[in-house]
Amino acid sequence: MNMRTLKIIGIVTMTLDHIGFYLLPVGTANLILRCIGRIAFPLFAFMIAEGFRHTHDLTRYWIRLLIASMVVEAAMGVYYLATGMNLMFSADIFLTLLFGLSGLILATWKGWAWKLLIPVIIAAAHFLGVSYGAFGVVAVLIFGWIPKRGWQVAAFALLLVAVNEFPIYDWFQVTTPFENRIFGVWFQWFSLIAFVPLFLYNGERGRFGKWFFYLYYPAHLLVLLGIKTLLELI
């Protein structure tokens, strides 16, 4: 299984998750799609770590994520002006991935002062309310700092235990306050299913448009939000 296949799995499961989140009322169908959607983020976090290890130009890679995040923020800003619904930061997965990549980069710079900024980035993810909060940034760091897949599973599982069993889960923002009341945070355990394709990953890239996901993400959000707005007007 190459990187192209991982991206397709991530995109499909993410889209199903967002269909459940934005379009379906709380219930069985909503919950099923949200559980399937848990598979997506670990795959994207892994891809960022792989990009960090193998990209020929790390600065350009970081700037590409920054531009993608700015595009999403601009789109969510327009949506906010049109509807009054503020999804800036919270709907921007690129910002979470950018924070994670920044942490991986800072860890390679000489001098402890740079490394002390990593907890600042994690805290910023929480206070800004980015998608997946501090949990998302730590997930990227796990994939970037731990090379062995088995140890990645163990570290990710420990992170989920911490999120589920201790009061810090509010800090990690893996669910919205509404979902915490309805579902708790137990359904985040479905994210471990992502390690099935990761264990099958063969290290090959495969052919996949570099800019496809960067364009697909804001486009699919706008389509789903447009449908949501129309349904609310009917």
Is pLDDT of 124 > 70? yes
Q: Output the pTM of the full model.
A: 0.91
How far, rounded to the nearest angstrom, does the alpha carbon of residue 138 sit from its chain's CA centroid?
Answer: 11
Identify residue 115 by its one-letter amino acid code.
K
Tokens of 64: 């590409």
Q: Tell which residue, 162, 153, 115, 157, has the closest CA to residue 134.
A: 162
Which H/E stretch holds residue 159? helix 149-165
| Mean pLDDT, rounded, for 23-35 | 88
Alpha-carbon distance of 139 to 68, in angstroms, equals: 20
Confidence of residue 126 (pLDDT cuts 50, 70, 90): confident
**Residue 90 — pLDDT band, cuts 50, 70, 90?**
confident
Q: Which pairs count as long-range contacts for 155-159, CB under 8 Å and 24+ apart, including other chains?
A: 156/42, 156/191, 156/192, 156/195, 157/192, 159/135
Residue type present at position 181: R
pLDDT the model gives residue 166: 58
Over residues 212-225, the mean pLDDT reads 94
Q: Where do the structural domains in the chain lie, given as residue ranges?
A: 3-36+43-233
Q: What own/partner pairs with CB < 8 Å and gap ≥ 24 does 89-94 have?
A: 89/128, 89/129, 89/130, 89/131, 90/129, 90/130, 90/131, 91/131, 91/221, 92/130, 92/131, 93/41, 93/44, 93/131, 93/132, 93/136, 93/217, 94/65, 94/68, 94/69, 94/214, 94/217
> Which is higher by pLDDT, 121 or 232?
121
pLDDT at 102 over 90: yes
What pLDDT sits at residue 182?
44
Report the mean per-residue pLDDT for the chain: 88
Query: What are 31-89's pLDDT values in tens digits?
Result: 899 999 999 999 999 999 999 999 989 999 999 999 999 999 999 999 999 888 888 88
Give the per-residue pLDDT at 186: 72
The CA distances from residue 214 to 24, 65, 72, 92, 175, in Å, are 25, 8, 9, 11, 24
Q: What is the mean pLDDT of residues 204-214?
A: 85
CB 171 within 8 A of CB 15: no
- Quick one: pLDDT band at residue 16, thresholds 50, 70, 90? very high
C-alpha closest to that of 191 among 152, 217, 225, 230? 152
> Per-residue pLDDT for 171 more than 80?
no
Asked if 131 contacts 96 with a C-beta cutoff of 8 angstroms, the reply is yes
Is pLDDT of 210 > 90? no
